[in-house]
Amino acid sequence: NAGVMQNPRHLVRRRGQEARLRCSPMKGHSHVYWYRQLPEEGLKFMVYLQKENIIDESGMPKERFSAEFPKEGPSILRIQQVVRGDSAAYFCASSPPTGGDNEQFFGPGTRLTVL
């Protein structure tokens, strides 16, 4: 009974490179959420997706950031032309389809370091 999976767990990029973060939700979950957490700070909502749909991206920076959740495969958070300020922990969470418990369960996170 695998939980939410994220990879890679640690990612190092130089300024200007692309970072690609992956998230596979729990079995039976169709909703995926991405959050960013800076050291000693709370979780900041970025985007909420269902299969092939972006439902709410109000927390996503307007430039360089994009997310998708294709029909097959994991959800991907992509950060283009990374800058030092993108260094953070990025957490993915998933929840069951609407109508059931709406609790979100988190993956282990990807720690992004931009050099």
Partner 1 sequence: QKEVEQNSGPLSVPEGAIASLNCTYSDRGSQSFFWYRQYSGKSPELIMSIYSNGDKEDGRFTAQLNKASQYVSLLIRDSQPSDSATYLCAVTCNFNKFYFGSGTKLNVKP
Which residues contact partner 1 by CB under 8 A?
31, 33, 35, 41-45, 48, 55-56, 58, 91, 95, 98, 101-109
For residue 106, the minimal CB distance to partner 1 (Å) is 4
* Region at 71 (left for phi over 0; alpha for psi -120 to 50; beta for the rest): alpha
Q: Looking at beta carbons only, is 58 or 72 nearer to partner 1?
A: 58
For CA atoms 11, 41, 50, 83, the dihedral sign is negative
For residue 70, the minimal CB distance to partner 1 (Å) is 20
- The burial class, CB within 10 Å (0-12 / 13-18 / 19+), for 47 is buried
Q: Looking at beta carbons only, is 1 or 98 nearer to partner 1?
A: 98
Which amino acid, residue 114? V
For residue 90, the minimal CB distance to partner 1 (Å) is 11
CA distance 105 to 5: 11
Q: Looking at beta carbons only, is 19 or 93 nearer to partner 1?
A: 93
What does the DSSP assignment read for 102-114? ---EE---EEEEE
For residue 91, the minimal CB distance to partner 1 (Å) is 6
Q: Looking at beta carbons only, is 48 or 65 nearer to partner 1?
A: 48
